[in-house]
């Protein structure tokens, strides 16, 4: 009996049922803001963090569920202190990190920091390799809630290790495990959200849930339409790996940068929402336009993203529809919700009339009558189908419920 248990456990450890970091965190895709796409290293400061927290309140974002203020690369000094500890850059954190997390917590928000599994971060700051437990203890002492963990300068067959290794010396799992274990080690004191940023290597979606609460499934969103196409289309094939406690992370929302027009911003936000990606704003909230603000404050879409079922939408092919094209955004998406089904219609390659018969939608099927509401226009309807004129690169998202 004993040997049976021993033999079975390692196998179970790799299934979606056993979440190693099952600490009650990350049951829904996380929502927040990250400094990286705002001004890279220059935005990794107390002043950006606190100004953003104020904006979360004044713009009503906190009430909509935006919660995490995450500081990315470049928050520390370039070397550790004589005791091997990380040192917050005093020019960026004049009162230290804890003063900032205390303030952010007092506002009902959470605070995140960034580390790296290699010996340096991507921007060349100290990495966490070999310092995992000590560094996590530091995070806990500062009250940090969220930890993004990057993949630069990790073990590599190239010598010296390059920033981005093209010939890794092993699986990324090997260098993400020590940090996962360090986080497990402080579980009784602090429940950290562990965000794996290995850029989708080693099919992270197949094991990410045993290591963390969310995992980047691609290289960066560079903020252009090509990135939305590349990442959004790839999400369709890995939808089944997202569930409460562990979600595919499609990378930060790159709205408000002027690289996308309003239609493209709507499709970007809508697709990230229905595929249950974390919704992490990568923009300067001091400079946001009203049209971008309307998109990120769309309560209907946020409610779909945060639905308790935590199941991601994927593509479906109605009769007569063309086959999906690799790297292009397919028009028809659907996914289950706790109280209905979400259908996404994307004009990813051409403007036109997009229609859906509810009998063709997975999860609706069969006969019956339905009610629906569209999230961007507020349009509602009843019946067995819905149809929309959609401009190039725009999207419509309907929630459909049986009546
Ligand atoms: C990349 C990561 C980005 C950002 C950047 C910081 O590897 O994908 O999201 O964190 O490093 O240097």
pLDDT tens digits for 277-306?
999 999 999 999 999 999 999 999 999 999
- Give the span between the Cα atoms of 351 and 360, in whole angstroms: 22
Expressed in angstroms and rounded, the spacing between residue 201 Cα and the centre of ligand 1 is 14
Expressed in angstroms and rounded, the spacing between residue 217 Cα and the centre of ligand 1 is 13
Q: Tell me which residues of the chain have a pLDDT lower than 70.
A: 1-20
- Closest-lying ligand 1 atom to the alpha carbon of residue 199: 8
Cβ-defined contacts of 182-187 (< 8 Å, 24+): 182/132, 182/133, 182/135, 182/136, 183/21, 183/136, 183/147, 184/20, 184/21, 185/133, 185/136, 186/136, 186/137, 186/140, 187/23
**Does residue 143 come out as left (phi exceeding 0), alpha (psi in the -120 to 50 range) or beta?**
left
pLDDT tens-digit readout, 208-238: 999 999 999 999 999 999 999 999 999 999 9
- Give the span between the Cα atoms of 203 and 295, in whole angstroms: 31
The DSSP output letter for 118 is: S
By the 8 A CB rule, do 263 and 45 touch? no
- Give the span between the Cα atoms of 364 and 81, in whole angstroms: 60
Does the Cβ of 117 fall within 6 Å of ligand 1? no
Tell me which residue has its CA closest to atom 9 in ligand 1. Answer: 220
What is the model's pLDDT at position 266? 98
What is the model's pLDDT at position 21? 72
Does the Cβ of 123 fall within 6 Å of ligand 1? yes
Pairing of strands 31-34, 352-357: unpaired
- Closest-lying ligand 1 atom to the alpha carbon of residue 150: 7
Q: Quick check: is 150 catalytic?
A: yes
- C-alpha of 195 from chain center: 8
What is the model's pLDDT at position 367? 77
Does the Cβ of 284 fall within 6 Å of ligand 1? no
Tell me which residue has its CA closest to atom 6 in ligand 1. Answer: 73
- Closest-lying ligand 1 atom to the alpha carbon of residue 197: 8
Does the Cβ of 249 fall within 6 Å of ligand 1? no
Pairing of strands 110-116, 68-70: parallel
The residue from 102, 220, 224, 303 that is catalytic is 220
- Closest-lying ligand 1 atom to the alpha carbon of residue 152: 7
**Which of helix, strand or coil describes residue 6?**
helix
The pTM assigned to this predicted structure is 0.95
Q: Residue length, the chain?
A: 403
What is the model's pLDDT at position 303? 98
Does the Cβ of 129 fall within 6 Å of ligand 1? no
């Amino acid at each position: 009996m004993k040997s049976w248990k021993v033999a079975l456990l390692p196998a179970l450890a790799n299934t979606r049922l056993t979440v190693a970091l099952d600490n009650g965190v990350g049951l829904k895709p996380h929502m927040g803001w990250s400094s990286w796409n705002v001004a890279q290293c220059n935005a990794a400061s107390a002043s950006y963090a606190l100004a953003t927290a104020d904006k979360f309140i004044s713009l009503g974002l906190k009430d909509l569920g935006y919660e995490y203020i995450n500081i990315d690369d470049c928050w520390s000094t370039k070397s550790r202190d004589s005791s091997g500890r990380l040192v917050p850059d005093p020019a960026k954190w004049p009162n230290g990190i804890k003063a900032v997390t205390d303030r952010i917590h007092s506002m009902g928000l959470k605070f995140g920091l960034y580390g790296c599994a290699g010996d340096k971060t991507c921007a060349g700051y100290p990495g966490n390799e070999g310092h995992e437990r000590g560094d996590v203890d530091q995070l806990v002492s500062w009250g940090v809630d969220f930890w993004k963990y990057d993949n630069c300068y990790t073990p590599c067959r190239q010598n010296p290790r390059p920033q981005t290794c093209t010939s890794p010396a092993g699986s990324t799992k090997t260098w993400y495990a020590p940090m996962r274990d360090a986080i497990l080690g402080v579980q009784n004191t602090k429940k950290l959200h562990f965000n794996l940023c290995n850029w989708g290597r080693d099919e992270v979606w197949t094991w990410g849930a045993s290591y963390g609460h969310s995992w980047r499934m691609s290289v960066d969103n560079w903020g252009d339409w090509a990135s939305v196409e590349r990442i959004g289309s790839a999400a369709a094939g890995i939808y089944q790996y997202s569930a409460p406690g562990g979600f595919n992370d499609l990378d930060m929302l790159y709205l408000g940068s002027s690289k996308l027009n309003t239609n493209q911003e709507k499709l970007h936000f809508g697709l990230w929402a229905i595929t249950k990606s974390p919704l992490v704003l990568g923009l300067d909230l001091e400079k946001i336009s009203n049209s971008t603000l309307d998109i990120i404050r769309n309560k209907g879409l946020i409610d779909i993203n945060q639905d308790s079922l935590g199941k991601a939408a994927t593509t479906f092919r109605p009769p007569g529809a063309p086959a999906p094209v690799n790297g292009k955004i397919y028009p028809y998406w659907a996914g289950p919700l706790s109280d209905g089904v979400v259908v996404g219609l994307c004009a990813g390659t051409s403007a036109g009339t997009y229609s859906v018969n509810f009998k063709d939608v997975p999860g609706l099927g069969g006969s019956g009558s339905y009610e629906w509401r569209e999230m961007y226009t507020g349009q509602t309807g009843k019946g067995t189908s819905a149809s929309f004129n959609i401009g190039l690169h725009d999207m419509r998202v309907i929630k459909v419920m049986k009546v």
